[in-house]
């Protein structure tokens, strides 16, 4: 590995995935493929790049390396490593989030991530994928949660 790569990039390379300034960790390789397909379709429709030089969607691995446990493990580790890679203005270069299914394992993973690192917050650093995702809201975790709750209530009422 070239020496010019920082610790975060080297760690990702050792695990077999590409780290970007914004990296989304998902439970499995099929999830990665779905995001890549969505990005290709969006590019065909609008010529907008959703994934590219600054954003990546990755899976921590297959089998025991992946799934909710793998996402939590790598999210915690990558966030810790990211604290060592700062921009000139002192801000952290890398941002990592975890996406989980809204099932028993996903709900447990969100709680576990926060128990391991209390700085990991749902609706800010970890998200559970719902069939209908709210899109119009302020990006404060409480506002995002309220938007999810409104969508959930609306779906239950229909």
Residues paired with residue 128 on neighbouring β-strands, in sequence order: 100
Note whether residue 158 is domain-resident.
no
Note whether residue 87 is domain-resident.
yes
Per-residue model confidence (pLDDT) at position 136:
60
User: For the chain, what is the domain count?
Assistant: 1
The secondary structure element, H or E, covering residue 115 is helix 104-116
Look at residue 155 and tell me whether its pLDDT is greater than 90. no
- What is the domain extent for residue 29? 7-130
Token code pair at residue 139: 């990006």
- Name the nearest CA neighbour of 60 among 49, 72, 43: 72
Note whether residue 143 is domain-resident.
no
Per-residue model confidence (pLDDT) at position 62:
87
The model's pTM: 0.80
- Name the nearest CA neighbour of 105 among 66, 68, 75, 64: 68
Note whether residue 48 is domain-resident.
yes
Per-residue model confidence (pLDDT) at position 151:
63
């Amino acid at each position: 590995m070239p020496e010019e790569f920082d610790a975060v990039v080297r760690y990702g390379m050792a695990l077999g995935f590409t780290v970007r300034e914004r990296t989304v960790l998902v439970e499995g390789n099929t999830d990665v493929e779905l995001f890549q397909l969505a990005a290709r379709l969006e590019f065909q429709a609008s010529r907008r790049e959703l994934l590219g030089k600054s954003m990546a969607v990755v899976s921590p691995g297959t089998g025991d390396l992946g799934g909710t446990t793998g996402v939590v493990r790598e999210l915690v580790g990558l966030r810790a490593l990211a604290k060592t890679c700062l921009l000139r203005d002192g801000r952290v270069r890398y941002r990592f989030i975890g996406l989980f299914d809204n099932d028993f394992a996903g709900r447990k993973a969100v709680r576990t991530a926060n128990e391991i690192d209390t700085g990991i917050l749902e609706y800010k650093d970890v998200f559970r994928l719902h069939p209908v995702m709210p899109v119009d809201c302020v990006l404060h975790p409480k506002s995002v949660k309220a938007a999810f709750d409104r969508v959930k209530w609306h779906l239950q009422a229909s």
